[in-house]
């Protein structure tokens, strides 16, 4: 009887092996469905962040110009902090705890104040205030935060959209601050930066399901927001501008940040906050494209812009209707007051000394010089009455 040859079973084994290999590959590819919100620097898109560099350089130059105009060594007769800097020395810490210029200098170079906006109708201050800083500490904290957030945003979404968010947030924040502005001059440089923070938060919220490490990202955003908001309680920094800028950036993020720069990356180990493990796919592109949301957000932003612009032009002061609102922008201490009183002092000159007596509370102070400008006299009067 002839022996029937048996067929090799390699075909079935190969088929099972092929299916197993295919399933393993799909499992590996599924890890590319999400990306870490903050990417590791080695995995970020290689792109020059020239826009953030320009913003940083411009604000440093403007602060140097402000200190040059302040000229503490001459206008304050040498009663300055860091006297070795000469013309660029700072006002005493009792006058400006942020190591910066005097109140009259901030008003002169473009800061916001009630009198200049309502009586003099100097609306151009809405555009200049977002570029000013109250002092060196304010400058370092603001620019440090701007570099961290701005570089990430520019790398992911490009310079054009970030520039639009930055300028519009700064302007709307200034307009919002004008509704609560007081007689004390203030700057709103944080408004534009808070706009970027708001845009970053909206980018995270809109694409929540596409990111990993979301809680860590929220903690970072909240920490940066809190630190900069607390700085706003110090003199000459407007927290209402920060609030207005944040709201503007949050809305504009839904309008403009709909196509982040994605690129294919090989899978790697997990567990790091700054890591990118995403594969470009058509499905992800479709999820980033939400025209209805963009249109609604654009309508809301235009309505808010029109509202604050009209209110600022009409000279509406919301402090008259909200007596506690000033504490959002100021925390009263022994060094300064949050009351919006018009300071008035009686000046008496004798033996090369100037004695200023506050008419509101009777406090007085003697200064060892007399030859000072009217604006500088008002600065000292405000210091005495505080």
Q: Write a three-state SS string for the chain.
A: CCCCCCCCCHHHHHHHHHHHHHHHHHHHHHHHHCEECCCCHHHCCCCCCHHHHHHHHHHHHHHHHHHHHHCHHHHCCCCCECHHHHHHCECCCCCCCCCCCCHHHHHHHCCECHHHHHHCCCCCHHHHHHHCCCCHHHHHHHHHHHHHHHHHHHHHHCHHHHHHHHHHHHHHHHHHHHCCCCCCCEECCHHHHHHHHHHHHHHHHHCHHHEECHHHHHHHHHHHHHHHHHHCCCCCECHHHHHHHHHHHHHHHHHHCCCCCCCCCCCCCCCCCCCCCCCCCHHHHHHHCCHHHHHHHHHHHHHHHHHHHHHHHCCCCHHHCCCCCHHHHCCCCCCCCCCCCCCCEEEEEECCEEEEEECCCCCEEEECCCCCCHHHHHHHHHHHHC
Angstrom distance (rounded) from CA 115 to CA 300: 31
Give the end-to-end CA distance of the chain in Å, rounded to a whole number: 118
Residue 283 above 70 pLDDT? no
pLDDT 10s digits, 25-59? 343 344 444 555 555 444 444 556 789 999 999 99
- Provide the whole-model pTM: 0.76
| C-alpha closest to that of 146 among 44, 239, 227 | 227
Residue 264 above 90 pLDDT? no
Angstrom distance (rounded) from CA 143 to CA 193: 9
**Which pLDDT score is estimated for 48?**
65
Residue 341 above 50 pLDDT? yes
Percent of the chain surpassing pLDDT 90:
24
pLDDT 10s digits, 165-208? 999 999 999 999 888 887 788 898 889 999 999 999 998 888 77
Least confident of 3-17, 113-127, 287-301: 3-17
**Which pLDDT score is estimated for 103?**
87
212 vs 257, higher pLDDT = 257
Inter-residue contact 376 to 383 (CB < 8 Å)? no
- 212 CB burial (10 A radius; 0-12, 13-18, 19+): buried
Bridge partners of 364, per DSSP, are: 357
pLDDT 10s digits, 320-333? 777 777 778 777 77
- 239 CB burial (10 A radius; 0-12, 13-18, 19+): buried
Structure tokens given for 365: 């102070």
Structure tokens given for 305: 């812009």
Least confident of 89-98, 131-140, 337-346: 337-346
Q: At what angle are helices 239-256 and 214-231 packed, to 10 degrees? A: 150
Quick one: average pLDDT of 294-308? 90
pLDDT confidence bin for 143, thresholds 50/70/90: very high
Exposure pattern of 166-195 as b/e (b: 16+ CB <10 Å)?
Answer: bebbbbbbbbbbbbbbbebbbbbbbbbbbb
- 290 CB burial (10 A radius; 0-12, 13-18, 19+): middle
| C-alpha closest to that of 193 among 241, 126, 257 | 241
Residue 344 above 90 pLDDT? no
Give every CB contact of residue 224 below 8 A, 6+ residues apart in sequence: 145, 148, 149, 197
pLDDT 10s digits, 96-105? 888 989 888 9
For 247, phi and psi rounded to 5 degrees?
-65, -40
């Amino acid at each position: 009887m002839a022996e029937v040859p048996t067929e090799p079973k390699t075909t079935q084994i190969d088929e099972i092996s092929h299916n197993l290999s295919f399933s393993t590959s799909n499992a590996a590819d599924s890890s590319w469905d999400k990306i870490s919100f903050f990417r590791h620097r080695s995995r970020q898109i290689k792109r020059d962040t020239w826009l953030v560099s320009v913003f940083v350089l411009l604000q440093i130059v403007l602060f140097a110009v402000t200190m040059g105009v302040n000229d503490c060594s001459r206008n304050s007769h040498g009663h300055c902090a860091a006297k070795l800097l000469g013309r660029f020395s700072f006002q005493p810490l009792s006058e400006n705890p942020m190591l910066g210029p005097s109140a009259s200098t901030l008003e002169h170079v473009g800061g916001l104040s009630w009198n200049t906006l309502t009586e003099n109708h100097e609306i151009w201050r809405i555009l200049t205030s977002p570029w000013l800083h109250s002092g060196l500490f304010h400058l370092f904290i603001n620019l440090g935060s701007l570099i961290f957030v701005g570089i990430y945003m520019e790398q992911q979404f490009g310079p054009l959209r970030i520039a639009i968010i930055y300028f519009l947030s700064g302007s709307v924040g200034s307009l919002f601050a004008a509704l609560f502005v007081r007689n004390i001059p203030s700057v709103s440089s944080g408004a534009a930066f808070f706009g970027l923070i708001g845009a970053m938060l909206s980018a995270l919220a809109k694409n929540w399901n596409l990111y990993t490490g979301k809680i860590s990202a929220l903690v970072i955003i909240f920490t940066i927001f809190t630190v900069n908001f607390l700085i706003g309680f110090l003199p000459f920094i407007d927290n209402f501008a920060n609030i207005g800028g944040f709201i503007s950036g949050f809305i504009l993020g839904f309008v403009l940040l709909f196509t982040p720069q994605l690129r294919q990356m090989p899978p790697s180990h997990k567990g790091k906050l700054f890591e990118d493990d995403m594969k470009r796919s058509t499905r992800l592109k479709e999820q980033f494209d939400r025209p209805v949301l963009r249109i609604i957000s654009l309508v809301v932003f235009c309505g808010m812009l029109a509202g604050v612009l009209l209110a600022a032009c009409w000279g509406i002061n919301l402090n008259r209707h909200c007596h506690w609102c000033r504490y959002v922008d100021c925390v009263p201490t022994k060094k300064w007051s949050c009351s919006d009183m018009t300071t008035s002092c009686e000046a008496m000159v004798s033996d090369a000394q100037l004695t200023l007596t506050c008419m509101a509370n009777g406090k007085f102070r003697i200064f060892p010089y007399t030859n000072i400008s009217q604006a500088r006299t008002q600065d000292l009067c405000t210091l005495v009455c505080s």
